[in-house]
DNA sequence: TGCGGAATTTCGGCATACCTAAATTTACAA
DNA sequence: TTGTAAATTTAGGTATGCCGAAATTCCGCA
């Protein structure tokens, strides 16, 4: 079966590869703001640098990206629109698998990575409806709405939390399943309260207090862990809204 | 993401095309027993004859099919195993979409045709469990078990039903969505009782009585329709079992 | 100011899965 | 038996996406 015109314009017409490239380019700047280099894309996509060069040229031809030779890549409004649609699919799929089919939050990423290219808009919408139109996925990543709007929570990396201050877990990078499993085991999940106690001397681990009410624990966090967890401090709720095109 | 080894041996290693060819070869002989010709495959797959020749050679190389030049194709036990796994995926997906996500039985085929190549064994098994391990899909087609066993109901094409005899709808070909929608509108679905009244003279339409208890109707069926509906006469329940390898 | 290493692009190739047009083989009918 | 039309295969090509190796470009530092 050929990818027919059963979806949003400029969605089913794009190959799975194009979809993944665009999505990765977007994801690169969702929580940071560094320039997106060819090498970085190659590493993330597990592909040779030369392959990225070629595909980026294609993205430019398709009007999805802007690129001047030897410079970083940027999405066009058109590319951003496609990226947000793909991100929506990916995150809704993850959420659906966790809430409706009993997956663990460390098990859903690969499944969603493939399914996102195959599900129809109809299916995505039905899953969203079934879930009550959730606004974040199991890892706390915001789910773009069907019209291509996304609202980023005003969360910060845990390691930047000031000593003595408290926050709630708002997001956890889903890059490392082992890390996710560890956090589950430690009963740290979205919205878990965390208080920064301080850093052990000489570049040591961060120490945090986990939980708020009854059972409170202290926990040392390694560097990767501290860099993978985002927290939201109470009160603040601004966030920032990205619109399509 | 490359098709990794997250599935049954010899499943994720096969391309979507290989999976579709094998599945179509199987489907061809599920309800009939004619030799599977190149031309028939080409027509069903909407592909040039020469493409089929090439791909069949590949299937032979992969040990999935037997083929002597200018002769019909047959699946090897290995090929049958793969085909039944694909059929299981396809039919469970259709069933899931209908029962859990509100799809109509005329809307699920294309969606399943794509998803079947992308879902993991784990996902299929969870869907099956969620559905209570159903043994037939929305069109009455039997769902192979996870170990590759399928039980074909002893159904016959409606047009072969003897005059005056009654049966229940056991299967409807899902080839034509319009036909499925028409049957829904006429409130004919699986297990609906049907009694053969006879054929209008001079090659005319079949006339059947639909329903059994209270509201009974007469209905004329065109040729395509009569050939697309299978019925099971009461009492008989033998069926036949196909095993893997 | 120019050098050298890193990043990027270019080049030639490979695998998959298609296609059209041109053989080739087969089967059946005269 | 032989011709011929249909079915099938072969040959030559295209489009995607990927690769490694070889150029090229860039940038910071001596
Ligand atoms: Mn993907
Ligand atoms: Mn996620
Ligand atoms: Mn398919
Ligand atoms: Mn079906």
Supply the CATH number for residue A226's domain: 2.30.30.90
Residue B1 has pLDDT above 70, yes or no: no
Residues within 5 A (CB) of ion ligand 2:
A 94, 137, 139, 141, 174
CA B135 to ligand 2 centroid distance, Å: 34
Q: Is residue B136 scored above 90 in pLDDT?
A: yes
pLDDT at B13: 84
Q: Would residue B1 count as lying in a domain?
A: no
Phi-psi region of B46 (alpha: psi -120 to 50; beta: other; left: phi over 0): left
Is B242 part of any domain?
Answer: no
Last residue of a domain, one of B150, B165, B199: B150
Distance B133 CA to ligand 3 centre (A): 22
Instruction: Look at residue A190 and tell me whether its pLDDT is greater than 60.
Output: yes
Do A49 and A106 lie in a common domain?
A: yes
In this complex, the residue of A110, A115, A130 whose CB is nearest that of residue B6 is: A110
- Among the candidates B121, B150, B179, a domain finishes at B150
**Total residues found in chain A within this entry:** 245
The structural domain count of chain A equals 2
Say if A242 falls within a structural domain. no
Task: Check residue A141 and give its pLDDT.
Answer: 96
Same domain as A34, residue A72: yes
In chain B, which residues have their Cβ closer than 8 Å to the Cβ of A20?
Answer: 1
Q: Using the predicted structure, report yes or no on whether residue B153 has a pLDDT greater than 50.
A: yes
Largest CA distance in chain B: 60
Residue A1: inside a domain: no
The reply to whether B57 and B15 lie within a common domain is yes
Among the ranges given (A26-35, A75-84, B80-89), the one the predictor scored with the smallest mean pLDDT: A26-35
pLDDT at A245: 42
Domain end, chosen from B98, B125, B150, is at B150
Contacts of A123 in chain B (CB under 8 A): 97, 101, 111
Beta-ladder partners of A230: A157, A171
In our burial notation (b when 16+ CB lie closer than 10 A, e otherwise), range B171-205 reads: bbbbeeeebbeebeeeebeeebbbbbeebeeeeee
Indicate which CATH number applies to the domain containing B97.
Answer: 1.10.10.10
Residue B244, pLDDT > 50, answer no
Query: Which segment of A58-67, A201-210, B6-15, B192-201 scores lowest on mean pLDDT?
Result: B6-15
Beta bridge partners of B232: B168
Q: Answer whether residue A244 shows pLDDT above 60.
A: no
* Predicted confidence (pLDDT) per residue in A191-203, tens digit: 999 999 988 777 7
Q: What is the mean pLDDT of residues B99-124?
A: 96
Q: Do B65 and B163 lie in a common domain?
A: no
Asked if A83 and A176 sit in the same domain, the reply is: no
Q: Based on the domain organization, do A85 and A54 belong to the same domain?
A: yes
In a domain, A25, yes or no: yes
Structural domain range at position B23? 7-150
Distance from CA of A162 to the nearest CA of B (A): 39
Arithmetic mean of pLDDT, B86-101: 98
Render pLDDT for A10-65 as a digit per residue (tens, 0 to 9): 666 899 999 999 999 999 999 888 999 999 999 999 999 999 999 999 999 999 99
According to the model, what pLDDT value does residue B4 have? 38
Contacts of A71 (CB under 8 A, 6+ apart): none
Regarding whether B86 and B171 lie in a shared domain, the answer is no
Ligand nearest to the CA of B143: 4
The per-residue pLDDT for range B43-66, each reduced to its tens digit, is: 999 999 999 999 999 999 999 999
Confidence tier at A3 by pLDDT (50, 70, 90): very low
The B-side interface with A (CB below 8 A) comprises 1, 4, 6, 20, 97, 100-103, 107, 110-111, 113-115, 117-120, 122-123, 126-127, 130
Model confidence at A236, pLDDT cuts 50, 70, 90, reads: very low
Question: Are residues A131 and A42 part of one domain?
Answer: yes
**Helix A16-28, helix A38-45: angle, nearest 10:** 120
Confidence class for position B243, pLDDT limits 50, 70, 90 = low
Give A243's pLDDT tier (boundaries 50, 70, 90). Answer: low
Residue written as token pair 């054929």: B199
Distance of A177 CA from C23 C1′ (whole Å): 56
Q: Are residues B50 and B141 in the same domain?
A: yes
Same domain, A51 and A106: yes
Both A180 and A125 in one domain: the answer is no
* B185 and B129 share one domain: no
Q: Is residue B17 part of a domain?
A: yes
Q: Is the pLDDT of residue A5 over 70?
A: no
Mean of all residue pLDDT scores within chain A: 90
The answer to whether position A2 is within a domain reads no
Residue A159 lies in a domain: yes
Nucleotides of D under 7 A from a protein CB: 7-12, 16-22, 25-27
User: How much of chain B exceeds pLDDT 90, in percent?
Assistant: 75
Question: What pLDDT was estimated at residue A2?
Answer: 36
Helix B77-101 and helix B121-130: axis angle, to 10°?
50
């Amino acid at each position: 079966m050929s990818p027919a015109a059963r979806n949003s314009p400029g969605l089913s017409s794009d190959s799975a590869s194009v979809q993944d490239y665009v999505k990765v380019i977007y994801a690169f700047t969702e929580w940071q703001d560094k320039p997106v280099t060819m090498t970085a894309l190659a590493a993330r996509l597990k592909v040779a640098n030369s392959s990225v060069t070629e595909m980026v040229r294609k993205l430019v031809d398709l009007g999805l990206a802007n690129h001047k030779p030897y410079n970083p890549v940027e999405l066009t409004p058109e590319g951003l629109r496609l990226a947000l649609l793909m991100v929506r699919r990916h995150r809704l799929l993850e959420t659906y698998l966790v809430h409706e089919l009993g997956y663990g939050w460390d098990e859903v990423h690969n499944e969603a990575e493939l399914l996102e290219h195959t599900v129809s808009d109809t299916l995505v919408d039905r899953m969203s409806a079934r879930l009550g139109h959730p606004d974040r996925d199991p890892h706390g990543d915001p789910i773009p709405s069907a019209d291509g709007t996304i609202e980023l929570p005003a969360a910060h990396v845990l390691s930047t939390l000031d000593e003595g201050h408290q926050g709630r877990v708002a997001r956890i990078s889903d890059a490392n399943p082992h890390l996710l499993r560890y956090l589950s085991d430690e009963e740290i999940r979205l919205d878990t309260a965390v208080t920064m106690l301080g850093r052990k001397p000489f570049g040591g681990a961060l120490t945090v207090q986990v939980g708020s009410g009854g059972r409170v624990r202290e926990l040392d966090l390694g560097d990767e862990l501290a860099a993978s967890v985002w927290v939201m401090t109470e009160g603040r709720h601004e966030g920032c809204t990205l619109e399509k095109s």
